[in-house]
Chain A
Amino acid sequence: MLNWIWLALVAISVLVGALTGRLEAVTRAAFDGARTAVEISFGLVGIMTLWLGLMRIAEAGGSVRLLARAIRPLARRLFADVPAEHPALGAMLLNIAASWLGLGNAATPLGLKAMEELQRLNPRPDTASDAQVTFLALNTACITVVPATIIAVRVSLGSADPTEIVLPTLLASCCATVAAVTAARLLARLRPFRLPPPEHRGEDP
């Protein structure tokens, strides 16, 4: 699916750019995007290193297993193919907690750590597992308790009540999360998205 979306974005951009005479801007935007991508990933190096170090301590000390046990009832439903008390569950809980609180700096590294743990359980390294898609859905439609950035902008623009959007934001993001997770669960069964059967090893008759 991403193949088609990506192709469509690029092809439409060049065509429309040619028709509207903005081809130079299109080229510049492509190069700018590439540079921004590198800046973002290098910006992640420090914080990523910090959290991966801390998470390794948490694994060795048993706190990840403790957290995993805490969310077992919910995890068993959402992530049926992840074994109980697997470190992935602890990392996922920390990621969700951090992103609900708007701590993006901690949420991304913890989410990547969780993804890595899920990848250990994934028999097809280049194809997303059901658990990975569900976890991604949780993150792309994340529940927002305090939309700190937008509140700050509203304060700077002199809003009479900068936090009045907290309640609708919270409720709307809950709807988004429920919809994304439900879609992740239901779509997994559709033919174009279904996982291929496990590969056979050795010689088949």
Chain B
Amino acid sequence: MSLAEFARAASTWLIPLLLLAIPLLAAVRRVKVYEVFIDGAKEGFGVALRIIPYLVAILMAVGMFRASGAMDLFVTALSPVTAALGMPAEVLPVALLRPLSGSGTLGVVTELMKTHGPDSFIGRLAATLYGSTETTFYVLAVYFGAVGIRRTRHAVAAGLAGDLAGVVAAVLLCRWIFG
């Protein structure tokens, strides 16, 4: 069984197993599972609502940045630097957009794979970049928003350090594996 097959089987089984094991284990210990479930579930709506202001702040700023054309200027300014790393200029927008917008990045990656072919170097690198990190600003807004944290300290810097390492690693790995 290959790693990918194992991972696929695990992702099919994990949730049903949790749905079975958690209530069963609790019932054995005489927990009134239905009543306790309702008690915990009550908080769901509140948590989802609490995220809204944080998410609005992030998504409006990111949306404006893309729509104004500032993103494109940023790409033009940075492309000589990334060219030295061996990253084709076409892929740079993917790397810059990744921490800001998940769906936006997926759109650009799909477009690149359509134009250059999914098995071209550009297509493979774009696909790898998409998978190698999460949407930092979105995760930040949602996770800190849910508990009402406004002072994020070094969280942005740590997240962006991860994104940068992910981009560099993706370019080097793709050059090495698909070179």
Q: Which residues on A are within 8 Å of B, measured CB to CB?
A: 1-2, 5-6, 9-10, 12-14, 16-17, 20, 22, 25-26, 28-34, 36-38, 40-42, 44-46, 48-63, 94, 97-98, 101-103, 106, 108, 111-112, 115-116, 118-119, 124-128, 132-133, 135-137, 139-142, 144-150, 153-154, 157-169, 171-173, 175-184, 187-188, 190, 193, 195
Contact among A9, A44, A158 with B61 in the assembled complex (CB-CB below 8 Å): A9
Hey, which chain B residues are within 8 Å of A162, CB to CB? 118
Within the complex, the shortest CB–CB distance from B51 to chain A, in Å, comes to: 5
B61 contacts A49, C-beta separation under 8 Å? no
The total of chain B residues at the interface (CB under 8 A) is 105
Q: List 26 A-B contacts (CB under 8 A).
A: A1-B152, A1-B157, A2-B156, A16-B68, A33-B58, A34-B59, A40-B55, A49-B44, A53-B38, A54-B19, A61-B28, A61-B33, A112-B47, A128-B155, A133-B153, A136-B143, A137-B159, A147-B127, A147-B131, A153-B110, A157-B114, A158-B118, A168-B173, A172-B173, A180-B162, A187-B157
Residue among B58, B65, B158 making CB contact with A180, cutoff 8 Å: B158
Interface of B is mostly: helix
Contact between chains at A16 and B39 (CB < 8 Å):
no
Of B11, B40, B62, B158, which one neighbours A9 at CB under 8 angstroms? B62
Structural contact, A50 and B41, CB atoms closer than 8 A: yes
Bound CA–CA A166/B124 (angstroms)? 10
Please give, as numbers and ranges, the residues of chain B lying within 8 Å of A14 by CB-CB distance: 64, 68
Contact B158–A133 (Cβ < 8 Å): yes
Q: Which residue of B lies closest to A18 (CB)?
A: B68
Knowing A112-B47, A139-B139, the reply to whether A53 touches B64 (Cβ < 8 A) is: no
B52: interface (CB < 8 Å): yes
Restricting to B136-179, which residues have a CB under 8 Å from any CB of A?
136, 139-140, 142-144, 146-159, 161-166, 168-170, 173-174, 177-178
Known contacts A50-B41, A53-B37; is-contact A126 B61 (Cβ 8 Å): no
How close is B44's CB to chain A, nearest CB, in angstroms?
Answer: 3
Given known contacts A22-B67, A37-B55, A149-B106, A6 and B162 CB-to-CB distance under 8 angstroms: no
Residues of B whose CB lies within 8 Å of any CB of A are 3-4, 7-8, 10-11, 14-15, 18-19, 21-23, 25-29, 31, 33, 36-45, 47-49, 51-52, 55-70, 73, 99, 106, 109-110, 113-114, 117-119, 123-124, 127-136, 139-140, 142-144, 146-159, 161-166, 168-170, 173-174, 177-178
User: How many interface contacts (CB-CB < 8 Å) are there between A and B?
Assistant: 387
Do B118 and A154 touch (CB < 8 A)? yes
Instruction: Kindly report which residue of chain A lies nearest to residue B26, judged by CB atoms.
Output: A61
Nearest CB of chain A from residue B86's CB, rounded to whole Å:
14
What A residues does B62 contact at CB under 8 A? 9, 33
- Which of A45, A61, A178 touches B45 (beta carbons < 8 Å)? A45
Are B67 and A28 in contact, CB atoms less than 8 angstroms apart?
yes
Chain B residue with minimal CB distance to A48? Answer: B44
Docked-complex contact B130 and A147, CB < 8 angstroms: yes
